[in-house]
Structures are given as structure tokens and as C-alpha cells.
Chains A and B, each alone.
Chain A
Amino acid sequence: MYEAVIGLEIHAELKTNTKIYCSCKNSFGAEPNTQVCPVCMGLPGSLPVLNKKVIDLAIKAGLSLSCDIAKESTQDRKNYFYPDLPKAYQISQSDTPLCSKGYIKINDKKINIERIHIEEDAGKLIHSENSTTIDFNRCGVPLIEIVTKPDIRSAKEAVAFLEALKEILEYSDVSDCKMQEGSLRCDVNLSVRPVGESTLGTRAELKNLNSFTFMKNAVEYEFKRQVDAILSGDTLVAQTRRYNESDKKTYFMRQKETPAHYRFFTEPDIPAFSVTPSDIEKQKALLGARPAKLLEKYKSLGLSKDECATILDDPDLCDYFERLIPFTKNPRSASSFLLGHVAKKCTIDGVFRCDIKAQSFACVVNMFDDRKISSTTAKNLLSRLLEKDFDPEKAANEEGLFQISDERVLYPLVKEAFESSFDAVMKYKNGKVNALQSIVGKVMGKTSGKADPEAVTRILLLMIEKDQ
């Protein structure tokens, strides 16, 4: 039996205002050759100047993927001729990638990230019947190139990884990750080997994977192609192949170049740059401690995708939530109250700030989870806590805010309401679910709102069921 050994090479465009080596605007969709200057067009005499924001965002990306960040880094020239590359070299990083040794966990399996480095994008070739034109707008757009170790074993895993990566890069506000606009591009390196072996087979690099589906199809086709080739005794050649969506096959493009082909050497026009601990702290603070770990943690606590997104998107909100977690029995509940009730009241001019003591907030949430107070009471207490701090449990006690959830207490009250609501019961039995509300309402009225509506409903339903 053969297994696929897959590594991914992902390029993500960074969300800076200007390009990586010049002050041209970095945005998608402009008229061709309107966002260009002597530097990104590679005119003679032009020189690159590194945009510091690019380093910041690359560090942020590295941190969000649990990478080590290099203390000293240089840029290198990758030399080759192609019409979309105006200088005939791409300024990239070869020897000293800015980030290394990161990972993303997919279903408890670590997919390792070998390296992340910064580089400039090339222009775009537009092919027509008789000619090809070049749009240089994209030249100099800042990219991070993320290279994984060949830890992926299936198309499914590859897609899962890419989805997770996209999520993380979006959360950390590093890239738009729009595959359809090309701000996220993925190439697949795939080889096969007998299960149990540890050496790597001859790999093919797959390009033109413009969507998750394309990638999945390409991987599945290529795996089969390579296995078939081996089984028929053919030798595989290291090559680059292009995926074709119309027949879902991959086709030979060219033989794989070796690194030596590119004549890498250190870029003399850009001095080496250092990354200080304070640079890293600054990006960490902006991330709001948002590495993939937090996302994992919140998901495992049961928060929904949207809740995670909202919390992780706001460093201050996230910090506050982090402070709540140790005191709450059910963080999911805490998140619900925080996002549903408190966040709006505490956000002024887009900045979140909540002065409720974490223990007090948690105490309210815990009482709700213990069914001691109703949702309404919980919200009221939280609103009061915004004004000033007090002991919520003590207040609930003194003010008689506790819910009545004791079934022995509720049963006679429910029975009374049930027996006096013949019409409502009939309507319910005929399919009108809402009819229950009026009966529950009677019990709430009798108890001045203190009855636990859930408990009341439960008892009521059992009563109706028995009454057949």
C-alpha cells in the first residue's frame, strides 16, 4: 500500500498600505500599470527600501503559527529571467528566513511549518490570442511564503490545513487570504512511498490550485498517477505540473529547477535587519496573545466559530475573556453573556473596556449555570455591576432574586396553571407550540417571576404527556 507524502508551499499577500520596497499603493483591482514606480518596475538606477510594516506583519504571522523569530535577517536575490519579473531577480530570503519551526494542529496531529520568509510578488501576465501583456501593479506586493514539512498524508488533511491557516492569517489581520483574488496561493509538493517507509520519493510540484476544491482534486489525481506509474515500472522525474480543472488532471509543465539555478546571493541594497524582543512583544500585544493555541482552546471550550472570531478579533475583549475563564464553571456561558449583553455597553469608539471584576462577572454566570437565577436576572446583575462592584450572590440572596427551581415547590403551581388552561393545552396538542407560553406565564405571575421557566416548562410537558 502506498501513502501520499505532501508538503505545501503557500504564498499570502500581506495587508500593508504600500508595497514592500517602494511607496506604491498595495491594493487589488486597479487599472493595469497605474500602481507602479521606478522601483517596482525595475527601472535602471532604482533601489529597494524595505517597508518596516512588512517585517511587523511577518512576525505577527510567525507568532500566530507558533514559530521562532530570527534575531538577524537578510534579504537575498533569486535570479531568473521571466517577463513578469522586471529586475530579472526576485528579492526574497534564502539563508535566513524570518520565521521557522512553527506548526498547526489538525485533529491533534501537528503539521510542522519549516519556514516563513518575506519576498516581493511579480507582475501579472495577461495572455490573449496573439500577444501577452504585462501588468506590473502586482510587482512589489509583499508576500510571506510559508513552507510546511511533508507531514500531510491526504487531500482531506491538505484542505483542512489550508483552511486552518487561512483562518489564522485572517484572525491575525495579516492577510485577506482571498484565493479568488490571488492573495492566498498554494502549491502542493507530492510524492508517494510504500506505507511504513521513511525515505521520500520523487516529488511533483502542483500549481494552479486556485481553490480548495482544485487542490483536493489535484492531490487525488496526482497520487493515483504516481502510484500507477510506479506499479507499471515507470521512473518518476522531479517536475512541476499544472492542474487543469476541466478534466481534473495534472499536466507536465517543466522539470524542477534546483536552488543553484537561481544563483542566490545576499541582497546588497538592503542592509540586514534585526528583530528585537520589544519588536516581538509589540506584535504579540497586537495579536492579543492570539496564536493558534487560543483558537484551539476556545473551540475545545465549546465556543462557536463566530464567538471565537469576535473575541479573537479584539485584543482587549480577548484579554478580559481570558481573565474570566479561570473563575467560570462554563466559559461558554461566560462568552454568551459577555458578547450578548456586556460587550456592546462596554465598547466606546471601537475600544472595549469592562470594569466589572472578573470574579463578580463569573459569579453571576455561575449562578445562572447552576440554575439559581434566570437569564433576565443575570443580565440585570451584570448591568448593575457595570455601575459599581458588589457581591452578586449576597445581593441575590438579600433581594430574593433566586429562581425557584425546586420541582417539589413548582409542581403544585404548575398543576394549578395546567388545570386552568384547558384551551391553551388543546392548542398545544394541535401543534401550536407557542401556546405553552401563556401557561408558563401564569406560573411566572404566581411566583413574581422567580420560577425557573425551564423547570416549569419541563414539568408542564410531562403533565401534558401524561394527560393523554
Chain B
Amino acid sequence: MELLNLTVHELRDMIKSKQVSSTEATNACLFQIEKLDKKIGSFITVNSYEALKTAKACDEKLSNGICSGSLFGVPYALKDNILTKNIKTTCASKMLENFVPPYSATVETKIKEQGGILLGKLNMDEFAMGSTNENSYFKVTRNPYDLSKIPGGSSGGSASAVASDEAFFSLGSDTGGSVRQPASFCGCVGLKPTYGRVSRYGLVAFASSLDHIGSITKDVRDSAIVLDVISGKDDKDATTYNKSDTSFESALTGDIRGIKIGVPKEYLDGINKEVLSSIFSSVENLKYLGANVYETNLNLYKYALPAYYLISSGEASSNLARFDGIKYGFSAENCENINDLYEESRSLGFGNEVKRRILLGTYVLSSENYSAHFKKAQQVRRLIIEEFNELFKKYDVLVTPAYPTTASKIGQSATSIEMYIGGNCLVCANLAGLPAVVIPCGYNKKGLPIGIQIIGKHFDEATILNVAYALEKTIIKQKPSFI
């Protein structure tokens, strides 16, 4: 359907000029979901009644001459670990299977204020732990480019929904690459902003110092539009900053002449041949566009992943302790005493990957392990940040592959260890809080998307988006044949 092919900026222009109504756009998405989602499995909850009601209200406003909001009438969806008032928010876990929050995340409120229409909540790896979306309690999500392949994770549903035109954009969360990797696998633009750029209030915490809310969109301009809406200091999140920037959308010029790009060679190890070839083509394109590209080093690269796992597991073990069967969520029955209640509720309520991380996290925070593991990981993190600071004295942005491979087969993602190791390219940006965007830069022989990543300085989303914007124009997008 042509309407569904539109980007956010195209749709909103058409709605404002009354060529298309909000109701039409929302209905189109809901029909697409009806048609495709049994196969793809992006959604856990579809909010059709409320969505249409909101769309109708938008249309009424428009007929009265009121048309405010940069996302006016645009249907979108949220990863199911972002709280929505009165709408079930499950984190794809049995633990929160029936949890209905009494409040909404700040990002949801902001999008609502700008006229966005919430279609529903998207499938994910349970509590954001995983990179294949196979850890969901409810269902498997499939890659629209090839239904036998994974969409990536943990924001798998967020990527598949946008790639299959079920939604015009989505939000996900990125703790160790969980927005960028699915975006890469599903041929979308995935942005992880700087830590502190977007409020985490209302995001169910996995690893507090590594969690970021990010967006998945069809193109870079959409990404900038969404970032303009969701960014900003929030009194409810003490880790957010006030940065008086001009609008990210208006900073997109496409002119990257003279920009200094570093490519750290450690990122190119162990990368699949086809992926590497696509990356190199894109780097050549960047040169044609006027950028200066240099090979460089990130010496501490190999320590990033271990540091990431120690810190994220430690923080996760603490953040997930509140799920104890007492106040909300799954509560085991027929327990004799409080300890039984804790043990049964948590053993039954959590899936295996979650339990694995909680055990690891509890271990690294305990007694003598703390200094040897968790504290040391934080110290390594500090050194990685310093190394990036040095790199950014020389370069404006860094360019790397988004992931070593394209999407793998569902059920064949092998052992946890291999799954863990794939995240190398992505976790540095989480450890250091640097903004990073992934865009599709090509497709392999089988038509599976390949992603390229652009990492920038703290709070310099404008530059990475501009480089992405320029590069995007050189790439011919392929939609999934399935659609």
C-alpha cells in the first residue's frame, strides 16, 4: 500500500495538508498488522480502539483548524518495556504478564503531546536481555526480510514493525546494542542517543547506567524528528541533561565535506565478508561525499564486552530484585512463608536468560568478587571513555560495521556465549554513553540487510545524523519482498 510506504515526515505533511487523514493512516497500520502480524509477531498488545479514537480526535482538531505537533496523526508503537498508563506493559515476561501501569513513561507523554498515535506494544527479549528476540515469554518475532530469520533483539518487535510497515516509527531500548542491532538486521535506521539525552523515566530498568531509549525509523530524517520530540531534560530523571540544541531535523544538511572520520581497525576483525564489502563501499561513498577517512585504533576494544557483561548483570540483579511477588506481577500460590514466596515467584516468573544474568550479577557484586569483577569493570569503563575522548580530539565521528553478520536463523542462535560475543561492535557506545546511529548500507546476496554504524561525541547527535543523512542518499533501499 502506498500510504504505508510513506515516511513520518511525508505522512505528517500529507495529514497537515489534508491529503490523508489520521484515521486513514491508523486504519492502514491496523489492517497491515491484521494481515501480517500472525506471521511476523511484532506486537504483544494492539491498542486498536484507543488508537482509532485518538486518530478521530486528531481529524476533528484538523477540521477545526488546529494542527499542532510535529508528529500530528502519525501512528507508532512502543517496545513493551516502556510504560503506558492503563495499557498492559509486560516486558515480554510471565512476571509482568498482566501488569497494567498507573503511569506513562515520559517519552510516551511527549509523543502524545506532539500528536503521535499509539498502535500498541511491541515484542522483545524478556526484560531486554538477549539479541535474537527468542527470549520472549509470549512469541517469536520474525524478520520481515526472511521469516526464517531473527529480527534481532532485544528490540526485535520494534524493528520488524517498522520494516514491515506495521508502524511508521517505533521506540526501543538499547543497553548493549538492542536498538541498533535489530535495526541493522531489519534494514531500518536505529538511533541510540547520548546517555542523558532522553529520559528513562518509565523505562523498566535493566542496567541503569547502560540503558538508553532509542528510535527505529524508516529514514534518517524521521530519526531526527523523533529525537526532537523525545529528547530533553526531565525533572523525573536525574541523569538527563539540558542541552540547548537547535532542532536535529533542521541540522540535516547532507553536507559532510571536510568531516574527519575514523575507522578503528579492531571493529573490522571477525566480520563476515559480505558485510565487510558493503562497509568498505559505504566508506568509499563517504569519501566521494567529501569526508576524510582515516584508519585508527581502539586498543581497549576487546575489554568492552567483558566489562559490559559484568556491569550490566550486576545492575540488572539489583533492578530486577523488586519483582518479588508481593506488590505487583506474578505471585506464586500456596507458599508457606515469605522466602518460599520469593523463590517460587522468581523461579517461575523469570525465563532462563533472565535468571542467568541475575545469578551472574549477584555473584559479581558479592563480597570479594566486587573488587575483582564489578569495580574493575567500572575502572576499565573509565579507561575506555578516556580512549574515546582521545579519539574524538582527532576525529568528528567513527564509522564501524553495525554487526559482524546479517540476521541468523531462528532457533540456531547457538549458545549464549556466541550470542554474547556478537555484541562487540555495539557495547562501547553504551559503556561510554556516546550517541550512535545505524543505517542500512547494503544487502547480502540473499537480500538480507547490512548495517553500518556511526558513533559520535557526547551530545553530538547532529553530526552523526548528518553523516548518516548524507550516506543514506547513496544507498538504494530494498523493501522486504514479503510485504
Contacts and interface: CB of A to CB of B under 8 A. Distances in A.
Interface of A: 38, 41-50, 77, 79, 81, 83, 86-89, 134, 258, 260, 263-265, 268-271
Contact of A270 (B201, B236, B238): B238
A45 B208 CA distance: 10
B13 to A, nearest CB: 34
B209 to A, nearest CB: 4
B318 A46 contact: no
B321 A271 contact: no
Contacts of B330: none
Contacts of A88: 318, 321-322, 324
Given A38-B103, A81-B342, A87-B321, A44 B83 contact: yes
Contacts of A260: 366-368, 370
Interface in B343-373: 362, 365-368, 370
B321 A89 contact: yes
B327 A45 contact: no
A265 B324 contact: no
Interface in B30-70: none
A44 B322 contact: yes
B432 to A, nearest CB: 15
A421 B325 CA distance: 91
Given A43-B328, A263-B318, 16 more contacts: A41-B327, A43-B102, A43-B103, A44-B101, A44-B323, A45-B201, A46-B201, A47-B201, A83-B326, A89-B318, A134-B326, A263-B366, A264-B365, A265-B314, A265-B365, A269-B238
Contacts of B200: 47
Given A263-B370, A265-B370, A48 B327 contact: no
Given A268-B315, A269-B208, A81 B236 contact: no
B367 A86 contact: no
B156 interface: no
B327 A49 contact: no
B85 to A, nearest CB: 11
Contacts of A47: 200-201, 236-239
B321 to A, nearest CB: 3
Nearest to A84: B326
Interface in B237-256: 237-239
A43 B367 contact: no
Interface string B1-37: 0000000000000000000000000000000000000
Contacts of A50: 238
B202 interface: yes
Given A41-B327, A263-B318, A263-B365, A49 B105 contact: no
A134 B328 CA distance: 13
A444 B187 CA distance: 108
B96 interface: yes
A41 B326 CA distance: 12
Contact of B322 (A86, A264, A269): A86
Contact of B321 (A81, A264, A265, A268): A81
Nearest to A42: B322
A341 B327 CA distance: 60
Contact of B318 (A43, A49, A79, A258): A79
B374 interface: yes
Nearest to A44: B204
B390 to A, nearest CB: 24
13 contacts: A38-B103, A42-B322, A43-B328, A44-B328, A45-B204, A81-B324, A86-B327, A87-B321, A88-B321, A258-B367, A263-B370, A264-B370, A268-B315
A108 B54 CA distance: 73
Contacts of A83: 326, 338
Contacts of A268: 208-209, 239, 315
> Which has the most chain A C-beta neighbours within 10 Å: B96, B209, B326, B338?
B326
Contacts of B374: 265
A270 B103 CA distance: 21
A81 B102 CA distance: 24
Contacts of A48: 238
Interface string B201-234: 1111100110000000000000000000000000
B235 interface: yes
B95 to A, nearest CB: 10
> Which has the most chain B C-beta neighbours within 10 Å: A46, A89, A265?
A265
Contacts of A46: 201
A154 B105 CA distance: 54
B343 to A, nearest CB: 10
Interface string B58-94: 0000000000000000000000001100000101000
A47 B366 CA distance: 24
B205 A49 contact: no
Contacts of A49: 235-238
Contacts of A38: 102-103
Contact of A45 (B203, B314, B323, B366): B203
A271 B101 CA distance: 27
Contacts of B326: 83, 134
Nearest to B208: A268
Contacts of A42: 322, 327
Contact of A271 (B239, B328, B338): B239
A246 B392 CA distance: 70
Contacts of A79: 317-318, 321, 365
A170 to B, nearest CB: 31
Contacts of B101: 43-45
Contact of A44 (B96, B239, B342, B366): B96
B363 to A, nearest CB: 10
Contact of B238 (A77, A89, A263, A271): A271
A158 B202 CA distance: 46
> Which has the most chain B C-beta neighbours within 10 Å: A41, A88, A134, A258?
A88
B349 to A, nearest CB: 13
A406 B367 CA distance: 81
A43 B323 CA distance: 9
Nearest to B329: A44
Nearest to B204: A44
Contacts of B91: 44
A36 to B, nearest CB: 11
A271 B208 CA distance: 12
Nearest to A269: B208
Closest 3 CB pairs of A and B: A88-B321, A260-B367, A263-B365
A41 B102 CA distance: 12
